[in-house]
Structure 1
Amino acid sequence: TCYNFAGYGSVTLPNVALTFSSGATLTLGADGILSFGCLAFAPSGSDGGMAILGNVQQRSFEVRIDGESVGFKPGSC
């Protein structure tokens, strides 16, 4: 889904946070929500199963995965 923001002086985006079963929360900034005027994420299928957290959402975070849990540190890249 893409949007045309031509003619708008400013745009207010909703807060978007992804919370994982381990309790880790990744709160996305504007660059993790929209990319070139398009939503930076989409459904992965109709089964509601696996989804992909891509580089658009991770670009300003350090990601730690230790085999049992995941964590995020903002602003470290």
Structure 2
Amino acid sequence: MAESTFDRVCAIVREQGGLDDTELTEDTKLSDVGLDSLATVEIVMACEDEFGIEIDPDANPTTIGEFVKLVDGLLEK
């Protein structure tokens, strides 16, 4: 079974943020797990590569759930 968008985004966030053992939920705020704006940009770029999408530079997801919705929305286009 293919991994869900949520699982893939969480894997990217963990890898980019060095959060190997951190539990992530849709409500997890990136700032609450110590990710700053630079880390968020790196996550956006990694998601673009992983999913073959282009995320609007003005998009500013602050939670895992917002990232997942953003990616899913772009994948549906």
TM-score (norm 1): 0.31
Please state which structure has a larger fraction of its residues in strand.
1
- Greater gyration radius: 1
* Higher RCO (C-alpha under 8 Å, 6+ residues apart): 2
Please state which structure has a larger fraction of its residues in helix.
2
